[in-house]
Structure 1
Amino acid sequence: MHYVIYVSQASTPMTAADLESLLSFSRASNTEKGITGLLIYRFSPDTKSGHFIQMLEGDESAVRALYARIMRDKRHHTILPLAEGESPARMFGEWAMGFKNVDDTLLASLPGHSRIGESTFDAAAFENSNDKALELFRIFHDAP
């Protein structure tokens, strides 16, 4: 099972309607392509910016094609790949696209928390270490 994990910054903050539209389209399209995953969105009121982290999993060619389309999507920028690899099984097999809209309180409680676009964000910390990115998704997957 191939997977890709990336982070990005929203071009403009996403409204609830924007997120619902994105998820509705993504879930239908992903089901068709056999892709599962999780999208996490966070709006930061202090910087008035939105950020995404997403994991996609499925057939390698389908995941790579979707990721290439995501890279061209104008709804976000500063797309940073965090991890890519193979896993023996799906982590999110039950979700065509799971979703969490998180706030600062929740994120601040996670190990290694930092904000993309700020000096505390260290993309290099994720390089060659899929474990940190995968652990973040496990936390959200296992949360009640």
Structure 2
Amino acid sequence: MKSKIYYLIYISTATRPFSKTELLELLTKSRENNAKLDITGMLLYKNDVFQQILEGPELAVKSLYEKIKMDPRHRGILTALEGSETERQFTEWSMGYCDLNSADAATIPGYSEFMNTPLSDAKFVSHPSICLRFMRMFKANMA
């Protein structure tokens, strides 16, 4: 029997704005570390707010999340949703990424006004399944 893939989505606020260079450095290091841990996922960044999905072995994801919660670059970390799936949603991505502050974000196929919703908006907090749909929508339109 195939084991389930654990996933966790969190939302956090950066303690200070990240430059594009800093975001790319963070992403490069995350991709290297995640590949070693068999973790895949996606990171969205907009107006100093991160929304990230991590998926993989449950212990590895939970351990990484604990490290993220201790990272001084984050504050207000909120677990939006966690659960398990029969297969990975972000198989090929050690960490997919989209900077929604970029002017190019509006050129993503399927872009809509909903994508202008702040990542920390009450819609995501009060209806966490929207976070998962939001991430899947980005993946589908960026793949």
Superposed pair shares fold, TM > 0.5: yes
What is the match of residue 90 of structure 2? Answer: 92
What is the match of residue 125 of structure 1? Answer: 127
Q: Does 1:71 align with 2:69?
A: yes
Distance 2:29 2:115 in 1: 32
Unaligned runs of 5+ in 1: 44-49
Question: Which of 40, 43, 50 pairs up with 2:44?
Answer: 40
The correspondence of residues 1-144 of structure 1 with structure 2, limited to 5 A, is 1-43=5-47, 50-103=48-101, 109-110=113-114, 113-114=117-118, 116=120, 121-122=122-123, 123-126=125-128, 130=129, 132-144=130-142
C-alpha spacing 1:112/1:23, structure 2 compared with 1 (3 Å)? closer
- Structure with bigger helix share is 2
Distance 1:141 1:124 in 2: 23
Unaligned runs of 5+ in 2: none
Distance 2:127 2:92 in 1: 30
Distance 2:101 2:13 in 1: 15
The answer to whether the 8 Å contact 2:10/2:80 transfers is: yes
Q: CA deviation at 1:121?
A: 2.4
Aligned residue pairs: how many?
131
C-alpha spacing 1:112/1:12, structure 2 compared with 1 (3 Å)? closer
RMSD over aligned Cα atoms: 2.1
Distance 1:102 1:114 in 2: 10
The answer to whether the 8 Å contact 2:51/2:119 transfers is: no
The answer to whether the 8 Å contact 2:8/2:53 transfers is: yes
After TM superposition, where is structure 1 displaced by more than 4 Å over at least 4 residues in a row?
A: 104-108
Amino acid at match of 2:126: A
Amino acid at match of 1:113: T
